[in-house]
Amino acid sequence: MGHHSNWPEWIYVGVIIAIMCWVGAEAWNVERLVEHVPADAETIIVTGQQWFWTFEHEDGTKEVGTLHVEAGKAYKFEVVSTDVNHSFNIHDYVVLMDAIPGRVNTVWFAPDKAGEHDIQCREYCGLIHYNMRGKLVVEDPLT
Amino acid sequence: MVLELQKPRPVWQIMFSTHHTDVGLLYLIMSIAFLFLGGTLALLIRAELFFPGSQIIADSMTFNRIFTVHGTTLIFLFLLPSASAVGNYFVPIMVRYKDMAYPKLNAIAFWMIPPAGALIWLGFADFTWYATPPYSIISSPGPAADMWIFGLKILGISSVLGAINFVVTILKCKHPDMSIGQVPLLAWAFLSSSLIVIVAIPTFAAALLMLLTDRLGVTGFFNPVMGGDPIAYAHLFWFTFHPEVYVLVIPAIGMMYEIIPRFSRKPIFSKSSGIFAFVLLSVVSFSSWAHHMYATGMSFTEKTVFMLGTLAAVPASGMHVFNFVATMWNGRIKFLTPMMWSIGGIALFFSAGAGGVANAAMPLDFTTHDTYWVVGHFHLFVMGTIAFGTIGFIYYMFPYVTGRMYNETAGKIHFILSFIGTVLVFFTQHVLGLYGMPRRIFDYPEIPEWIVMNQIATVGAMIIGVSMLIFLINLIHSSAKGKPADIHDPFGLGGKYYYPFESKNPHH
Mean pLDDT of B205-220: 95
- Tell me if B154 sits within 8 A of B146, measured CB to CB: no
Which of the pair, B495 or B33, is modelled with greater confidence?
Answer: B33
pLDDT digits (tens, 9 = 90+) for A5-57: 678 888 999 999 999 999 999 999 999 999 999 999 999 999 999 999 999 99
> Which of B260-274, B374-388, B395-409, B486-500 bottoms out in mean pLDDT, i.e. has the lowest?
B486-500
- Tell me if B364 sits within 8 A of A24, measured CB to CB: no
pLDDT digits (tens, 9 = 90+) for B390-419: 999 999 999 988 889 999 999 999 999 999
pLDDT digits (tens, 9 = 90+) for B74-95: 999 999 999 999 999 999 988 9
Q: What's the distance, CA A85 to chain centroid?
A: 15
Q: How far is B165 from chain A (nearest CA, A)?
A: 30
pLDDT band, residue A76 (cuts 50/70/90): very high
pLDDT digits (tens, 9 = 90+) for A101-114: 999 999 999 999 99
Measure the CA–CA gap between A18 and A96, rounded to whole angstroms. 30
pLDDT digits (tens, 9 = 90+) for B462-479: 999 999 999 999 999 999
Mean pLDDT of B184-206: 96
pLDDT digits (tens, 9 = 90+) for B2-58: 455 666 788 888 899 999 989 999 999 999 999 999 999 999 999 999 999 988 998
Q: Which of A80, A81, A82, A85 to mutate to test the interface with B (most CBs of B within 10 A)?
A: A85
ipTM of the complex: 0.93
Residues of chain B contacting residue A118, judged by C-beta atoms under 8 Å apart: 436, 445
Q: How high is the pLDDT of residue B506?
A: 56
Measure the CA–CA gap between B26 and B371, rounded to whole angstroms. 37
pLDDT digits (tens, 9 = 90+) for B298-314: 999 999 999 999 999 99
pLDDT tops 60 at residue B507: no
- Tell me if B201 sits within 8 A of B156, measured CB to CB: yes
Mean pLDDT of A60-83: 95
Q: How high is the pLDDT of residue B8?
A: 74
| One-letter-per-residue 3-state SS of A56-99 | ECCCCCEEECEEEEECCCCEEEEEEECCCCEEEEEHHHCEEEEE
User: What is the domain partition of chain A in residue ranges?
Assistant: 1-36, 42-139
Q: How far is A40 from chain B (nearest CA, A)?
A: 21
Please tell me which of the candidates A24, A97, A127 has its beta carbon nearest to residue B311. A24
Give, in degrees to the nearest 5, the angle at Cα B140 between B134 and B144: 135
- Tell me if B391 sits within 8 A of B467, measured CB to CB: no
Q: How high is the pLDDT of residue B55?
A: 86
pLDDT tops 60 at residue A74: yes
State the DSSP string of B244-284.
HHHHHHHHHHHHHHHHHHHHHTS--S-HHHHHHHHHHHHHH
Q: How many other C-beta atoms lie within 10 A of the C-beta of residue A79?
A: 26
Cβ distance A27 to B326 less than 8 Å, yes or no, reads: no
Residues of chain A contacting residue B229, judged by C-beta atoms under 8 Å apart: 102
Closest CA in chain A for residue B370 = A122
- Architecture (CATH level 2) of domain A42-139: Sandwich (2.60)
Rounded alpha-carbon distances, angstroms, from residue B254 to B70, B162, B190, B291, B385: 26, 17, 8, 26, 12
Domains assigned to chain B: 20-490 (1.20.210.10)
Residues of chain A contacting residue B130, judged by C-beta atoms under 8 Å apart: 124
pLDDT tops 50 at residue B1: no
pLDDT band, residue B508 (cuts 50/70/90): low
Mean pLDDT of A106-133: 95
Residues of chain A contacting residue B273, judged by C-beta atoms under 8 Å apart: 6, 9
Q: State the amino acid at position B95 in one-letter form.
A: V
Closest CA in chain A for residue B226 = A102
pLDDT digits (tens, 9 = 90+) for B213-262: 999 999 999 999 999 999 999 999 999 999 999 999 999 999 999 999 99
Q: How high is the pLDDT of residue A2?
A: 47
Backbone angles phi, psi at B235, to 5 degrees: -65, -45
- Decide if A49 touches B, using CB distance below 8 A: no
pLDDT tops 80 at residue B112: yes
> Crossing angle of helices B300-311/A7-34, nearest 10°?
160
Backbone angles phi, psi at A48, to 5 degrees: -100, 135
Residues of chain B contacting residue A123, judged by C-beta atoms under 8 Å apart: 132, 370
